[in-house]
A and B are shown apart, each in its own frame.
Chain A
């Protein structure tokens, strides 16, 4: 029984393939007669076969799109594709020529703005203040020594 089922399954798969071939117009009249005879033993497949053979030609469901619709898109694509055909060196030179001046002004402007907005370093115009900051301790020692000498003299 299992063996028969196995054979039936194989036969069914073969018949399904043949139905496909028939739908695609690959079978001659003799092969179609043979197929239809075989299908008599498989009523469900025979019904499928009849329905499938009645399906319209699916390749005609979507017609060719007129050329004039394509032309503009194709030209656009070819233009874009040309960009990829230019070598890296050429691209670099083209871009450099185009944007070098713009890049210079941009960098210059950004640098100036950065300089303007960032906090400025502290400047000391008074020399004594600067000395106080650089030598804070030494001055104290000198003062103390002068006071010490004055006391000694007295």
Chain B
């Protein structure tokens, strides 16, 4: 498959945008980076480089890879790790959130914070596999890591999340 037509891509934007928005919002939780900025830049970069998309992976997977690289560049500039540890859970709340109770809200925000505090490699895996619900094959295409290693990392991520939530006082999340 040689490239991807710009018109076909335009038609896909309406479908791809909401999903990528949700994934990048989770990926950037706890940072000062606005997901909207990264999203716009991701799509424009994709438009400029559509001829490079060979169709070996899915269009969404390719887009996420572009977005992830842009985020990594921003993380380097902003030294992300220092920001997250001091951020109160309210910092993980989104304008679009709807909760049925204060308890549910607190629990959701704590889980978001626990995910954001995971080491980088585990955090991006949790976002892609558990939140964005990609298959291990798709995650492997984005991260360039074999599936067996990904499964092993996923176990480690879940282990750490359980420990972290316990420390935060969420005994039975």
Q: Does A120 contact B (CB under 8 A)?
A: no
Q: B residues within 8 A CB of A58?
A: 111, 115, 126, 130-131
Which residue in B14, B97, B126, B159 is a CB contact (below 8 Å) of A63? B97
Main secondary structure of the interface of B (DSSP, over half): helix
Q: B residues within 8 A CB of A16?
A: 151-152, 155
The residue on B at minimum CB distance from A77 is B43
Total contacts A-B at CB 8 Å: 106
Interface residue count for B (Cβ, 8 Å)? 46
**Which range contains the number of A residues in contact with the other chain?**
20 to 34
Q: Does A85 contact B (CB under 8 A)?
A: yes
Which residue in A23, A65, A84 is a CB contact (below 8 Å) of B18? A65
Indicate whether A78 sits within 8 Å of B115 (C-beta atoms), given known contacts A48-B159, A54-B172: no
Interface residues of A (CB under 8 A from B): 13, 16-17, 19-20, 23, 48, 51-52, 54-56, 58-59, 61-67, 69-70, 73-74, 76-78, 80-82, 84-85
6 further A-B contacts with Cβ under 8 Å, apart from A55-B161, A65-B94, are A16-B152, A48-B162, A58-B111, A62-B22, A74-B17, A77-B43
Interface residues of B (CB under 8 A from A): 6-7, 9-10, 13-14, 17-18, 21-22, 25-26, 36, 39-40, 43-44, 47-48, 50, 94, 96-98, 107-108, 111-112, 115, 126, 130-131, 133, 151-152, 154-155, 158-159, 161-163, 165-166, 172-173
